[in-house]
Chain A
Amino acid sequence: MNHRFLRGMSDGIPICLGYLSVSFGFGILAVKSGLSPLQASVISASNLTSAGQKAGLDVIAAGGAIIEMILLQLTINIRYSLMALSLSQKLDRRFTTPHRLMASYGITDEIFAVCSAQKELLTPAYMYGMILVAAVGWVTGTALGAAAGELLPPSVSSAMEIVLFGMFIAIVIPPAKKQRSVLIVIAAAAAISVFFRYVLPMVSDGFAIIIAAVAASVLAAVFFPVRDEEGASP
């Protein structure tokens, strides 16, 4: 098998483990909202996103309007546009239009994080390997959660929810050690995000993340512009 595909799979294993635990919780919630395990699994396979799926469940359970579903998904998931734009700057020449159409399905927070931490250009095979492993974890976890509900003791499932955030920390800290500008960006984004959570809680999580990330990055781009060779390839 293609070695890039295998490397993508191996880099995707932590994502897969994190997804297994998080989507397990989604599966439980979906069944509680009146969906079948099959419907829950189809949602996970076709959406591959956590917050958007959770919000979507709420609309389905409430019998909400389609326009509400569209606006909600746009708000919560628009951050993926920024991530897709950022990744578009570091694609290998092998990334032709059909590959772009397929790989864009798999741009999640975690896959984006791992891909943007790569030093070299991204190839389709690498992304497919990672997306495959991550999606298998996401759908399997959903199906297990929906079918087997509360088999795990709460102490275990609760501790598992921190896995993905632990991975985020592992991605941002090493560059922050080396570049003071990155340290300032992560501190500013965290501070703005905290401000929204406690001072303006009426702003949805999706919007709060976008505003915090854009504001911190604009500040950094103004005060610490990157040199040409390091631009857009974190």
Chain B
Amino acid sequence: MSIAVYIIVMAGVTYLIRMIPFTFFRRKINSRFFRSFLHYIPYAVLSAMTVPAIFYTTDNIWTAAAGTAVAVVLAFFEMPLIVVALAASGAAFLLGLFM
């Protein structure tokens, strides 16, 4: 099988998954339940993606935990996204130097 065929199929399926709901869903949702569901889903998706995967990002669970802790504290004080993201990485890197 040619690699081009695989790539086209991959890209096509991924695009359709995004495009169909985004393009064809026009109505304002009136159901209070469904509106509530859509209000919460972004937070739930981000949380489920982050935990526990974040602890397996670096080679060592302790450096990942340190990065996570730094991110949580800075996020609690509402620092900008880029500051939180880079500080988490910096903390994991620094602790990694000593492990």
Contacts and interface: CB of A to CB of B under 8 A. Distances in A.
A228 B97 CA distance: 51
A226 B18 contact: no
Nearest to A114: B81
B45 A155 contact: no
Q: Which A-B residue pairs are the 9 nearest by beta carbons?
A: A166-B88, A231-B35, A159-B93, A173-B75, A170-B84, A221-B36, A46-B11, A190-B51, A212-B48
A134 B97 CA distance: 30
Given A161-B57, A162-B54, 11 more contacts: A14-B82, A70-B9, A81-B20, A154-B59, A158-B96, A159-B63, A159-B90, A165-B50, A170-B79, A172-B47, A228-B32
A151 B29 CA distance: 50
Contacts of A158: 57-59, 63, 92, 96
A173 B76 contact: yes
B10 A56 contact: yes
B44 A217 contact: yes
29 contacts: A17-B86, A39-B7, A47-B11, A47-B14, A73-B14, A83-B42, A84-B19, A85-B38, A86-B38, A101-B23, A105-B18, A109-B45, A113-B46, A156-B93, A158-B58, A159-B63, A162-B89, A163-B86, A163-B89, A167-B81, A167-B84, A170-B71, A174-B78, A186-B46, A193-B48, A221-B36, A226-B35, A232-B35, A233-B39
Interface stretch (A1-9, A135-143, A175-183): A175-183
A49 B16 CA distance: 13
Interface in B63-92: 63-64, 67-68, 71-72, 74-76, 78-90, 92
Chain B interface residue bracket vs A? 35 or more
Contacts of B87: 166
Chain A interface residue bracket vs B? 35 or more
Contact of B13 (A74, A174, A212): A74
A220 interface: yes
Contact of A165 (B20, B83, B88, B93): B88
Nearest to A67: B9
Contacts of A132: none
A82 B50 CA distance: 17
Given A89-B38, A155-B93, A172 B43 contact: yes
Interface of A: 13-14, 17-18, 35, 39, 42-43, 46-49, 52-53, 56, 59-60, 63, 66, 69-70, 73-74, 77-89, 97, 100-101, 103-105, 107, 109, 112-114, 116-117, 154-156, 158-177, 181-182, 185-190, 192-194, 197-198, 205, 208-209, 212-214, 216-218, 220-222, 224-226, 228, 230-234
Nearest to B60: A158
B2 to A, nearest CB: 10
Contacts of A162: 54, 57-58, 64, 67-68, 88-89, 92
Nearest to B84: A170
B44 A212 contact: yes
A213 B45 CA distance: 5
Give the most central of A18, A173, A205, A222: most B CB within 10 Å.
A173
